[in-house]
Chain A
Amino acid sequence: MFGLTALELARIQFGFTISFHIIFPAITIGLASYLAVLEGLWLWKKDTVYRDLYHFWSKIFAVNFAMGVVSGLVMAYQFGTNWSYFSSFAGSVTGPLLAYEVLTAFFLEAGFLGVMLFGWHRVGPGLHFFATVMVAIGTLISATWILASNSWMQTPQGIEIINDVVVPVNWFEVIFNPSFPYRLAHMVTAAFLATALFVGASGAWHLLKGDNNPRVCKMFSMAMWMLLVVAPLQAFIGDQHGLNTLKHQPAKIAAMEGHWENTPGEGVPLILFAWPDQAAEKNHFEIAIPNLSSLILTHSLDGQFPGLKAFAPEDRPPVAVVFWTFRIMVGLGLLMITLGLWAVWRRWRGTLYEGRWLHRFALVMGPTGLIAILAGWYTTEIGRQPWVIYGVMRTKDAVSDHSALTMSVMLIVFIIAYFFVFGIGTSYMLKLVGKGPEAGEEDPATDNDDPGQSPARPLSAAPDLNKEA
């Protein structure tokens, strides 16, 4: 298809399916914690606004959770179907980590999700709150296992290679590998940020429609507070993550910066705009601020770090993609900080709920948390190329021996099915958001006659569309 090789098609398929997947868990992680906070505030302050918001967002959480489970099903098999040499070589490390993730997720679903979604009238308020908190913690533990596995592929340690197979000799070192704490912090914060932007945009949508009831105002206000704190925090964590990457994956940093080579005695400029040309080994149309990259990455004006030419051409990642996805992520991050500051200024002036331009901005910023997450993942995953396990196994040695034809056909099938299925799921979720939180919002189990019976499926916690009309 389009002259792409089987390897490229396998990478596109993986990128496509995992990009769809990550959106849902990111919102799941953020919403679970948000719900725990809402319920905690309801129990503490006894203000019904918090209870109504809890019920409203728990329905959206239910749909989102189901989408995450369904899209995750494919991921559990794709490592074997498309990346068989990676799996037979390193499944001994990533397999157990993924197994723990699956077990954690199911433990959580089996134990607490049902109580959280259907148990409002069945168990006491303390126990219900406990269930919500456990679900929130569970999503974080799930993320921990997945990010441990991914980070190990970025900065592998704790292993020996015996008979062409990775043997984990120290699980502590495998899990707590050098990039893991930074990646975990960066991703969890990103999930919180994306959720705050999503909640904020939902609030802004209703404010723009002229619906400024206390529930809408409260959720908009909470989202803006969250943004004010978390967006700058994320910039700091991202910076620390970058320093860690410079230490362990310098070629990735060179590609992110579009930095080809050092000039003796001079600092490295921060390139704002350029078109990196991998073949010519230089940038076109470069606009740069002198010495700023040196200052950010080495904390001195003329500090140097390796340029791309310090690495053999076959060891360099695709520069242009990494360069640009990184800029998209950072650019959106700066806009998020701006939104947080703008909102706090309006709040200080006492006009948080009146500023139409602020609300329009917040609405447009709604999906940017998720876009930034995708851009960030493209930066770190494509920046790791040409390695699948950094310095240990090349991506081209990991891929299964499928033909380009097989891969093309399956890729088309996946694309059609995913857009259809998740398109419908997402539009349903947005319809629920569009309804807005109502006073006396009830949980779905209320209209059930027999309190002993409730379905275990998360999606059934969301209302029927035909009942809403």
Chain B
Amino acid sequence: MGIDLPIVWACIIAFGLMMYVIMDGFDLGIGILFPFIKDRTDRDVMVNTVAPVWDGNETWLVLGGAGLMAAFPLAYSVILTALYIPLALMLLGLIWRGVAFEFRFKADEHHKPFWDIAFMGGSIVATFFQGVSLGAFLNGFEVEGVRYMGGAMDWLTPFALFTGLGLLVAYALLGATWLIIKTEGPLHDRLVTLARPLMLVLLAVIAVVSLWTPLAHQQVADRWFTLPNLFFFAPVPGLVALTAFLLLRSLRTGDPGPAPFVLTLFLLFLGYTGLGISMFPYIIPPAITLREAAAPPESMGFALVGALLIIPVILAYTAWSYYVFRGKVRAGDGYH
């Protein structure tokens, strides 16, 4: 077969994770924004903007896990073992938040404040540990042959804690810009005001990560700062600067519409691309490549058939459900 299966699968998993970050990112962001928006009606509106779509968003996370196991069993086992604690806390945060999401609406009146706190806490815990896991992944893993040799707490580094906080900012901005599309009135204006500082902090986070990784890892520095790579990759930071500028400008207008959200997505996509450039072709940095961690072609090929048949259906369905729920959400417009 002329298909390079490890690369195809790496693209599918990278696409799945990107979809996850984009789609679950903004609905986690809504929970993260709860401390800034105290009014109950406003909170209900915020939650209602994602109510019809959020659990489809988590589809991509499950797909990512199963896809990684099928295509790169070695990476699945090493990375997940190394990140056992942060990933378990992330999953529990997601479960907690998912249940809180529903019971915010379904519980008795006097239990509702509790579920608000649970929803906020779950969103923050899930996002923070997702960011920590990302940071720990970028830091790399101590591996000998196919065994993870590091300790249970190796993930706990200043860099990982920083990426944890960074992801909170990123998702908060995604959430705020999503809500700018979906809301109106005072809540809308409040979110526009919130989005500006969030955007600046996120830019600072991106800058710090962009400097920290090449300084800490020679491999990353070599990838970016040698010729001719420097010329190929120079557009990435350039585009980040341009996107950030456009984003700030769009936030000056009264109702910026979907522009800030789309620009934030593009910003995160650029960040994601940057990380891809830094990491390729390693799947367990700094030692094991995609090809070394790949499952036998018999496994990758077999699973690929299903993925290629079904992922387009999931995408089509997702697009359709966003289309159905387009437009602003007003107070009292429950889906409940």
Contacts and interface: CB of A to CB of B under 8 A. Distances in A.
Contact of A168 (B54, B296, B314, B324): B296
Interface string B52-95: 11111011011101111111011011111101110111011011
B102 A410 contact: no
Contacts of A77: 65, 80, 87-88, 91
A70 interface: yes
Contacts of A103: 63, 306-307, 310-311
B39 interface: no
Contacts of B92: 413-414, 417
A455 B70 contact: no
Given A84-B148, A456-B55, A99 B307 contact: yes
Interface residues of B, number: 69
B329 to A, nearest CB: 11
Contacts of A66: 55, 102
Interface stretch (B204-212, B220-228, B239-247, B297-305): B297-305
Contact of B296 (A109, A165, A448, A465): A165
Contacts, number: 228
Nearest to A85: B77
Given A69-B55, A80-B76, A462-B106, A167 B296 contact: yes
B99 interface: yes
Interface string A433-469: 0000000000000001000111111111011111001
Given A77-B87, A106-B310, A425 B99 contact: yes
Nearest to B58: A73
A460 B102 contact: yes
Contacts of B4: none
Contacts of B94: 73
B335 A455 contact: yes
Given A106-B314, A401-B148, A171 B302 contact: yes
A424 B109 CA distance: 16
A271 interface: no
Interface string A90-122: 111111101111111011011100100000000
A169 B301 CA distance: 12
Interface string B152-196: 100000000000000000000000000000000000000000000
Contacts of A454: 52, 324, 335
Contacts of B55: 66, 69, 456-458
B91 A74 contact: yes
A428 interface: yes
B336 interface: yes
A421 B99 contact: yes
B287 interface: no
Given A102-B66, A413-B88, A421-B95, A81 B80 contact: yes
Nearest to A409: B85
Contacts of B58: 73
Q: Which of A81, A101, A169, A425 has the most CB of B within 10 A?
A: A81
A177 to B, nearest CB: 15
Interface in B39-59: 51-56, 58-59
A87 interface: yes
A438 to B, nearest CB: 19
B325 interface: yes
A17 B298 CA distance: 31
B108 A94 contact: no
Contacts of B106: 428, 459, 462-466
B324 A452 contact: yes
B307 A456 contact: no
Given A88-B78, A92-B299, A454-B52, 13 more contacts: A76-B69, A84-B80, A88-B74, A92-B295, A96-B299, A107-B313, A110-B317, A400-B84, A401-B148, A417-B92, A454-B324, A460-B105, A465-B108
6 contacts: A88-B73, A95-B295, A114-B321, A453-B324, A454-B52, A460-B51
The 10 closest A-B pairs by CB, nearest first: A91-B73, A80-B80, A95-B70, A84-B77, A95-B69, A96-B303, A110-B317, A87-B77, A76-B65, A455-B52
Interface of B: 51-56, 58-59, 61-63, 65-71, 73-74, 76-81, 83-85, 87-89, 91-92, 94-96, 98-99, 102-103, 105-109, 146-148, 152, 295-296, 298-299, 302-303, 306-307, 310-311, 313-314, 317-318, 321, 324-325, 335-336
